[in-house]
Amino acid sequence: MLNIPLRFREIPKKKVWGGTRLRTIAGKDFPEGEKIGESWEISDYRHDVSAVLDGPLAGSTLRDLAQKHGVELMGAEVSRRCTRHFPILVKLIDTDDVLSVQVHPSEDDIKQLGARSASLRPQTEVSGETQRSAAARIKGDRVAKIEAWYILHAEPGAVMYQGLHGGITRETFRHKLANGSVEEALRRFEVQAGDVIFCPPGTVHAIGAGLTLIEIQQTSDTTFRLFDWNRPHSPESPRPLHIKESLAVIRFGRQPTRKAHPAIIEHSPWKRERLVKCERFLIERWSFVKRTVVDKATLSRSMSAAPSPSVSPGHSICGRREAQRACAGESCFEILCCVSGRGTVSAGGQTLPLTLGASILMPAAVHSWTVQPDPQLSILHVTPASSFAFEATATEDSPP
Catalytic residues: 225
CA distance to 87, 290, 307, 345, per residue, from 348 (Å)? 24, 20, 32, 11
Measure CA 142 to chain center.
17
Q: How far apart are alpha carbons 187 and 179 in whole angstroms?
A: 18
Helix axes 131-140, 107-119, angle to 10 degrees: 140
| 3 state SS for 173-193 | HHHHHHCCCHHHHEEEEECCC
CB atoms within 10 A of CB 194: 15
Whether 255 and 163 have beta carbons less than 8 Å apart is answered as yes
CA distance to 62, 89, 208, 396, per residue, from 44 (Å)? 6, 7, 26, 12
